[in-house]
Structure 1
Amino acid sequence: MNLLVRFPNIKRQKYTIARVIACGALILPSCRIPELRQADPGPVLPASFTGAINEAPSGTVSGTISEAASGTVSGLVGPSISPDSSGQLGVEEFYKDRVLTQLIDQALVNNRELKVLNEEVQVARSEVLARQGAYLPFVTAGGGTGLDLSSRFTRDGAVDSQLDIRPNQPIHNPLPDFRMGLNLFWRLDIWRALRNARDAAAQRYIAASEKRNDFVTRLVAEIAENYYGLVALDKRLETLNKTIELQQQSLEIAIAKKDAGRGTELAVQRFQAEVRKNQSEKLITLQDIIETENRINFRLNRVPMSVERTSADFYDLNINTLSLGVPSQLLQNRPDIRQAERELQAAGLDVKVARAHFFPDLTISAGVGYQAFNPKYLFNTPEALAANVAGDLVTPLINKKAIRAEYLSANAKQLESVYNYQRVVLNAFTEVINRVSMVENYRKSIEIKKQQLAALEASVDSASKLFQNARAEYVEVLLAQRDFMDARMVLIDTKRQQLGAVVNAYQALGGGNSLSVPPGPALPPHRWRKQPQP
């Protein structure tokens, strides 16, 4: 009697032990997951741009890029005391040049490289939709037919020959088979591996759009820089024409003095050589104008043609006042920083996906439908009804090197993203400092060069009058004219570099980006938009 009572308990104990062993075999592989390597901290940045610009080389820098502090710098038309960044201004608001903004608008519509980046964004968006459907059940509907011929010398054939498929109706051999129904396959996302993969794809979709936006800022800056370079070349050409006219007058005076017996052939030859030199320089400048126009035309995806430009005086040409704001605004304004941030978040999600491969994987497969040997019996219910369901729980036991390698590789790529993010932030901060300081220093240089130019212009006038009255040698006139022309050319180049510095500072602050995430099919819920930092 006691044996009968204890026997079921022994069986239950065996079943319990078997369950524990099975669960241990499934969970044990996840107990030896490698530890993640951590990234080294990045450099500490000043809390304001003015602190970085004005600080002595031996000083210490404190603060972080996320701290709020106001920073200002004098732009092309003077200082701007504002906590806002010029990077938040639109193209039309910043440049205030109808001709330039029209060129930029044409480039945003027609530029082929931008269209390529738009297609990359579409590819990334399609990847999000593909990942979004991966964790949902796969349900298929369909039907089929077949014919099965069994050998009489097999177990199935021998059994079928002794049975009737219906009363007094033996099983046909060959036996037709008609079926129709639904099939389901579902990989249960227990560890969020599939949903994390979806979220990572969503982050890369936004990163692709930010990569395109970063190209837009650089495209706008390139067109603006070439545009102002074209205006500078026009001014250079105008200067050469005036210089040639002035030297032609001196040449005529030298010829007249020679004919009158008060001059020599040497003075005539020197003035003539100077005229020919500047005429040659004029042709080179015309070639530079053609090449600059065609660089703009290429960006606008149009054939070589003349490019319209502003009629404003080059020396008085001003853009907008530069306002730096605070370094933390770079995180919002710079598309390359936003791209690096999204790639960093995607890399962190990839680590979670790789980690989930250490744990058991549960899949469910099922099917329901109708099956019969004759189509007239296919929809007989419940006789022709067929169904099946199965569940599989599997976990890796032996070949874990591939999973471990995938996990370590994801960790390494995550560290790459961390270091790339640190590099991009530091590079953005450095670009702003370099370009803004260039704007200020070139502005001061232009003021000094204008004073130099005024003095040289007066010296040319004096030398020309003295030479005409035989009170100065031709060499003095030549040197005065040459110095005056060189000073005007240097002033034009300095002004051009200053305008380019303003354009590049605007781009460094994140300005010129008028595009956002492109519209498209519905994306996953907001959960993927706020993934924690790894």
Structure 2
Amino acid sequence: MNLISKYNKIGILLLVMTLASCKMLAPVQNIEKPKTPEAFVDSKDTVNSATLKWSAFFPDKNLDSLIDTAIKNNIDLQMTMQDIEIARSEVRMKKGLLLPTVSGGLAVGNEKVGRYTSAGAGDASTEITPGHEVPESLNDFALGIHASWEVDIWKKLRNSKKAAMSRYLGTIEGKNFVITNLVAEVANSYYELLSLDNQLVVIKETIELQKNALEIVKVQKEAARVSELGVKKYEAEVLNSQSLEFDILQQIKENENKINFLLGRFPQPIVRDKAVFESQVPQQIQSGIPSQMLVNRPDIKQAELELFASKCDVKAAQAEFYPSFNISGGLGFQAFKPSYLFTAPESIAYSLLGELTAPLINRNAIKAEFNKAKAFQVQAMYNYQKTILNGYVEVSNELSNIKNLQQLYDLKNKEVQALNSSISISNDLFKSSKVDYFEVLMTQRDALSSKLELIEAKKRQFNAVINVYRALGGGWK
């Protein structure tokens, strides 16, 4: 009795030491959500354009059709959907660990023990049935069920399930983030394609203008008003513009292929209205307030869910230091002959065991796992803060970009109008021999460059609006 009492005291002492040491391993505390500014710079909007569905945000029906196809068929998005299935299976597995494990089966065996053992000596002096000794080689038939269950006293398993559930929800937000970027990428590529179409029109018009001027120069050469040098200069300019035409054609083909790739299909013509680019005005964007961005942006919500999951991982890792309580048992029939297998109560066999265990020797390994979980939690905290900061910076940059691009476009538009007028003036002056061919040539070259830059400026306006829509978290709804 004294020996049992002594062991009980040792066990209680070890348990107290285990629990006391765990207090020194407190999880990371007081991780607060970073405070965002009350408003974006130079913006007083309270309505947020990100709440609009992409089909309502983009007025071009051809673009809407492309986006719809991309969401259905994009390969990267399909791969992301499998991440969701993987995370869902992880949640089911964690839920299963909270329930008892029950297994059933049939066992057949044969056993012979040594005669000069305690079991063999006992069998030799025992009749298995009246008049029949226990045979040296004894068959064993068993049929039954076995169950085991870890009682989740310290919520280790429940915290693991919470972490898995949070990561599952995070994969859904990850899918939404992929959709947001996919919508923006298709839209940006579409307006890039429209801008190239319009650049091609400008280049072809310029080539025709240059060819007409070349014919005039040739006539004036025959009249000895210009030299062969002027003719060659104009021929070179026409050839240069024609080379630009083929460069634009190649860019158009590559851009069409890029869009088809995003749509998950092989190269084919992209249906579009070239006139839309010139007639359409970039959408008005409303940025709302930064706190709305925290709700709308999927990557921020995913980072927040990952932070919560890492907290649950720390709690689960801390629970590894505490004693675990396991209950196991079995119930079934067991006999040395099949004919006796279901003879009750003689063939009924059962077992029940309650076990309380605590780690003693391998505590350093558990402590290392706990510290790793804490490091992941701190990392998740910084990633959350970084994601919020990155979102705010993206919105701020693009809002400023929209404002400056509007000024740039207005100035370029005036420049194009001035150069268009100068082309007519230079042609008239050239015909009356008041200016030489070089001034006409430079005027046409400047006009072409300015028109292409105007188209580029408008494309950048469309891109900036699309990028703000994406940065605010629009496109996935």
Give the TM-score normalised by structure 2. Answer: 0.95
Q: In structure 1, what is the equivalent of residue 14 of structure 2?
A: 25
1:270 matched to 2:259: no
Q: Retained in 2: the 8 A contact 1:214–1:335?
A: yes
Distance in 2 of aligned mates of 1:184 and 1:35: 34
Q: 1:148 aligns with which of 103, 111, 114?
A: 111
Separation in structure 1 between the aligned mates of residue 107 and residue 60 of structure 2, nearest angstrom: 69
SS in 2 for 1:315: helix
Deviations 1:71-103 (A, max 9, x none): 33xxxxxxxxxx221111111100121111111
**What corresponds to 1:95 in structure 2?**
58
The residue that corresponds to 1:385 in the other structure is: 348
Indicate the residue corresponding to 1:5 in structure 2. none
Residue 69 of structure 2: which of 100, 103, 106 is its match? 106
C-alpha contact (below 8 Å) 1:221/1:507 kept by paired residues: yes
User: Please, which moves more after superposition, 174-183 or 396-405?
Assistant: 396-405
Q: Does 1:402 align with 2:376?
A: no
1:40-439 alignment, distance < 5 Å: 44-49=35-40, 52-53=41-42, 71-72=44-45, 83-439=46-402
How far did residue 496 of structure 1 move?
Answer: 1.1
Secondary structure of the structure 1 residue equivalent to 2:19: helix
Shift of 1:16: 7.0
Q: Would you tell me which structure has more helix in proportion to its own residues? A: 2
CA RMSD of aligned residues (A): 1.9
Cα distance, 1:38 vs structure 2: 5.4
Shift of 1:470: 2.4
On the 8 A contact 2:323/2:358 being kept in 1, the answer is: yes
Give the residue type in structure 1 aligned to 2:213: S
C-alpha displacement at 1:174, in angstroms? 1.3
Counterpart CA distance in 1 for 2:90 and 2:276 is 52
Partners of 1:297 and 1:304 within 8 A in 2: yes
The Cα of 1:148 is off from its aligned counterpart by 1.4
For 1:312, what is the secondary structure of its paired residue?
Answer: helix
Could you say which residue in structure 2 is the equivalent of 1:443?
406
CA contact (8 A) 2:28 2:377 kept: no
Listed as ranges, the matches of 1:419-498 within 5 Å are 419-498=382-461
Q: 1:89-131: CA deviations, max 9, x gaps?
A: 1111001211111111111222212111111111111011001
User: In 2, Cα distance between the equivalents of 1:484 and 1:210?
Assistant: 48
Looking at structure 1, the residues matched to 150 and 4 of structure 2 have their Cα atoms a distance apart, in angstroms, of 28
Q: Distance in 2 between matches of 1:90 and 1:293?
A: 25
Cα distance in structure 2, aligned partners of 1:23 and 1:154: 37
When residues 116 and 306 of structure 1 are mapped into structure 2, their CA distance, relative to the original with a 3 A threshold, is same
Counterparts in 2 of 1:366 and 1:95: CA distance versus 1, 3 Å: same
Structure 1 pair 41–184 and aligned structure 2 pair: CA distance change class (3 A): closer
How far residue 145 of structure 1 moved from its aligned partner, in angstroms, is: 1.1
Are the structure 2 counterparts of residues 317 and 146 from structure 1 closer, same or farther at C-alpha, using a change threshold of 3 Å? same
In structure 2, what residue type is equivalent to 1:297? Answer: N
Change (3 A) 1:40 1:172: closer
1:314 counterpart SS class: helix
Give the Cα separation in 2 of the matches to 1:219 and 1:397.
52
The alpha-carbon deviation at position 14 of structure 1 amounts to 8.8
Does the 8 Å contact 1:137/1:184 carry over to 2? yes
Matched-pair contact (CA < 8 Å) for 2:282–2:461: no
Q: Tell whether the 8 Å contact from 1:47 to 1:326 is kept in structure 2 after alignment.
A: yes
CA distance in 1, matches of 2:117, 2:188: 85
Aligned in 2, Cα 1:40/1:380: closer, same or farther, shift over 3 Å? closer
The count of aligned residue pairs is 475
Unaligned stretches of 5+ in structure 2?
A: none
- Equivalents in 2 of 1:15, 1:378: separation in Å? 39
The one-letter amino acid paired with 2:358 is T
Give the CA deviation at 1:285.
Answer: 0.8
Structure 1 SS opposite 2:135: coil
- Using the TM superposition, give the Cα deviation of residue 47 of structure 1 relative to its aligned residue in structure 2, in angstroms: 0.5
Say whether the 8 Å CA contact 1:150–1:173 is kept in structure 2: yes
Q: From the superposition, tell whether residues 438 and 445 of structure 1 become closer, same or farther in structure 2 (CA, over 3 Å).
A: same
Matched residues in 2 for 1:98 and 1:309: separation?
9
Distance, in Å, in 2 between the alignment partners of 1:331 and 1:338 is: 7
Question: Could you tell me how far apart the structure 2 residues matched to 1:262 and 1:102 are?
Answer: 58
Secondary structure, counterpart of 1:281 in structure 2: helix
Tell me how far 1:20 sits from its aligned partner: 5.0
Residue 19 to residue 153, structure 1, CA distance change in 2 (3 Å): closer
Choose 27-36 or 406-415, whichever is displaced more. 27-36
2-structure distance, mates of 1:502, 1:232: 15
The share of aligned pairs that are identical, in percent, is 39
8 Å Cα contact 1:94/1:319 also seen in 2: no
Cα distance in 1 between the residues matched to 2:359 and 2:403: 64
